[in-house]
Structure 1
């Protein structure tokens, strides 16, 4: 079961994600991304420490996040497991977002 929680601190929006991000959970991911964009953040951190799986629908959500936030917002994927990070890299998204083990402002 996918879950995402949004917190805002000093211009940074953090979305803590857990479970599986797939076709059935992608709409809720899009919804929380809309909420994040409404706060006009300087950074968007997608904390994936507890995300166990991402499908192509989930990666499309990352594309949506990149487009929705605009070019001046840094989109960071933090703490993705090897399988999730590899799925993201296979799509070429690592050129549009930052992937790292841990987050720092």
Structure 2
């Protein structure tokens, strides 16, 4: 597996599948799927992200808020915070898996 496998698959094509796996409490690869969804979200809030990506991310966030368990509720919350304050983006949290390894809700006033 290439070292950046997570980055390679975290795009629009596999996002619906990754989201479903991240939502599935029984999925043995759930944490990896959640990690990929953090990458997808970080890419989706960039200024030059496509409108389609932004709309799809918003739908994933809404669904996670409605029917997700605690890890996905935290993911949705963190996505909302990043959408409202993109400057708090932290590479190690969003791309390297920090928010999956150490689940926490980001605050609106966090520096990172």
Answer 1 or 2: which has greater strand percent. 1
Q: Per the shorter chain, which TM-score range?
A: 0.3 to 0.5
